[in-house]
Amino acid sequence: MRLRWAGHVQRMPKTRVAKKVFLESMGGKRPVGKPRARWEDNVSKDTRDLLGIRNWRQQSRDRDGWRQKIDEAKAQLGL
């Protein structure tokens, strides 16, 4: 679900609140010396690990193609 939403947000203009939140650091505790994670960082890790995609921002611009990749990953995971 997070990856589908990320594709939607990636296609938004930078002025939208959701896009601004997506690019900001998340709150919460973190290990000492490690920078705060952003939603974008988590999505990048998920797309790399689950979909084998490194350039997800470009691929998410194709709405139908992105949805197909997400659905294929869900099927492989049994979701």
> Can you give the pTM of this predicted structure?
0.65
DSSP string, 52-64: --S-HHHHTTSHH
Please say whether the beta carbons of 26 and 39 come within 8 A: yes
pLDDT in tens, 53-67: 888 888 888 999 989
pLDDT in tens, 34-46: 777 777 888 888 8
Phi, psi of 42 (to 5 degrees): -65, -40
DSSP string, 30-57: --TT-PPPBHHHHHHHHIIIII--S-HH
> What is the chain's mean pLDDT, rounded?
82
